[in-house]
Every structure is written in structure tokens, then in C-alpha cells.
Amino acid sequence: MSVVVTGVAGFIGFHVAKRLLSEGYQVIGIDNFSQYYDVKLKRRRVEKLRESVISPRDLIMYEIDISDANKVEEVFVREKPQYVFNFAAQAGVRYSITNPGEYIQTNLVGFSNILESSKSIGVEHLVYASSSSVYGGNKKLPFSEEDSVDHPLSLYAATKRSNELLAHAYSNIHGLKTTGLRFFTVYGPWGRPDMALFLFAKAILEKKPVELFNKGNMVRDFTYIDDLVEAIFRIVLKPPISDSLNQALRYWPNESWCSFRILNIGSAREVPLLEYLETLETCLGAKAEKVFLPMQDGDVEKTKADLTSLDELIEYKPNTSIADGVSRFVSWYKEYYNVL
């Protein structure tokens, strides 16, 4: 089967593509290799994917921007994928405050192009990345897909919620089967350099201060990448179906009468940021110099996923402990950056 993975050179896109290739799928990779973070890391991820294939046709790469509607359409018409994973996005809550245009162009214009091309060729299931940031100012934990998500705290969160609404419109009008996945703080090998674990490890090894916002009083539902990928792989094989006769579904925030679904993917564990940092210190065998700072605009103090819907659909049980996950990241980090 042919599968499009946008953002294939990114952290999650790379790991999903790797799993798909191992299962015998043909991966059509799309990425614009943006300079938001180290392009060499992105190129190396793609090299790793190429090293894992048997035939050059197993992995076909297109270096294009999804905000270019014509180029996206050309790829979809030429390759005719059965499934589409959209992980291409401008990420980062803090970056969205100073660079709003990047988010409008990629996360809104780009995603609308993916929807249109998926509809045009009759894609069997479109799975796309949303984010736990859509829960915004919600105080009730755990975050449930049935909670209100009408008060985003950042432009990034607003674009991700907009993706969900756009997907619903295409599911309703065109019958496109869509599943939006609200990711909760994903970490692991080949991770993003702008994420906490990467930043902390780099600072500790370079003997520089670790910046802790909200004076370190943060709690996160950290999700290990392998657990996330397993869930995504199972979900794509279970597209949502329309249920136009079931009026009870008409106003559920996470489901609908049309072929539309939203799911949380996390670990359902509340981990204090300082505990996360302590685990990293243990794995590195070094202590961090801590700098405590105020809360940043657009950030939230706590996250935790309600996984009831996900478990009912695929019997999801994340099984990677924080200690194991951080240890695997550290092993990769030391090897990749040749840290003795």
C-alpha cells in the first residue's frame, strides 16, 4: 500500500515512516526541510529511512512545502496514496508568538491543501496531528476529548483546533474519513531540539544553566515515541465511519454523525518537570544548574490525557516508563553527538 507521510523528516513523521516501512508499506515522504531547527538532523533522519529500505521505490521523497497547493496535488495524483498522515506543521508555542505568519501558512493553508488533495483522490483515511495545547486554559484533569477547547492560549493551539474544524467540514461535506490526534509532550530518540528533554541534555552536557519556567512547577503527560507510533499504526487501520442515523452523536465534540474522530494520545501519567529533569541527571551522571523563571505566555501549568476513547478503540496501553524512555534518549543523544 502507498502511504503519504508529510513532515517525514520531522521527529514523529520519521518514526511513523520507519514503522510503516518495516510493515511493508510504500512511503511517499513530503517535507520542506524548514530551518526552524537543525536541518542536518532532518536530513540524517531521512538517510536512516533510506538505509532501511530494500528497493528505492519503498521510499519516495518530495521536497516540497504543503502550502503549495499545486505541488501537493501533483504528488497525490501521481502517487495515489490509500492513507495519509499529516505531521507537517510549524511547531512550538513560544515561536508562534513572534512568528505568526509561519503558523498561518503551514498549519492552516498547508493543511487545507492536504484535505483538498485527499478528498480529490479518495484517500481511505487521513490521520493528522493535533495537539494537547488545544485544551488551553482548561483546569480539569485529565483532559478529555469531550472538554471545551474554545479558549486557546497561543496561536499554535488555535491553528491546531482550526485543523480539527476544517477536517470536520471535509468529513461532513465530502465523506473524507479523518482522525485528529492530540499528542501530549512526545519525547525519545531523534527528538526535536526545541523540546525540553533535548534542551536540558544539551545544557547539562555543555555545563550551561537549565531554564525552568513557572519556577519549575510544571507537570506534563510525557509520551514516549514508540508508544505513540504503536497507537498511530493501529488507528490508521480503523477509520471512523459515518452514523447519520445516530442523533446522539451529533453534538459530541470528539465524534460526529460523519466520518470524523478526535483522540488523545498520551501516557495518562502526571510527571513533575523537576522529576523528569532528575531522571535525566541520573542518566547523564551529571547535575543541572537550575535557573527558575516566570511562566511564559501561551504555556500551561499541567497536562494529563484521558485515554478512555483511545483504549476503547485500540486497547492502548503505554508501557514505557519515564526512566526507560529518558535512558534511551540519552543513549541516542550521546551516540549521535559523539558525547563520551
Q: Give per-residue pLDDT as tens, 39-52.
A: 999 999 999 999 99
Residue 307: what pLDDT? Answer: 97
Tell me whether residue 77 is in a domain: yes
C-alpha radius of gyration, the chain, whole number: 19
Q: Exposure pattern of 63-99 as b/e (b: 16+ CB <10 Å)? A: ebbbbeeebbeebbeebebbbbbbbbbbbbbebbeee
Query: What is the side-by-side order of every strand in the sheet holding 59-62?
Result: 59-62, 26-30, 2-6, 83-86, 125-131, 178-183, 260-265
- Indicate the helix (H) or strand (E) that contains 224: strand 223-224
| Residues with catalytic roles | 156
Tell me whether residue 198 is in a domain: no
Residue 245: what pLDDT? Answer: 67
Tell me whether residue 298 is in a domain: no
d(CA 42, CA 212): 27
Tell me whether residue 295 is in a domain: no
Tell me whether residue 275 is in a domain: no
Total number of domains constituting the chain:
1
Residue 249: what pLDDT? Answer: 61
Q: Give per-residue pLDDT as tens, 216-273.
A: 999 999 999 999 999 999 999 999 998 866 666 666 788 898 999 999 999 999 999 9
Tell me whether residue 332 is in a domain: no
Domain of residue 168, residue span: 2-191+223-268+304-318
Distance in angstroms between the alpha carbons of the first and the last residue of the chain: 42
CATH number of the CATH domain containing 129 = 3.40.50.720
DSSP 8-state symbol, 136: T
Tell me whether residue 204 is in a domain: no
d(CA 121, CA 249): 28
Tell me whether residue 274 is in a domain: no
pLDDT confidence band for 31 (50 / 70 / 90): very high
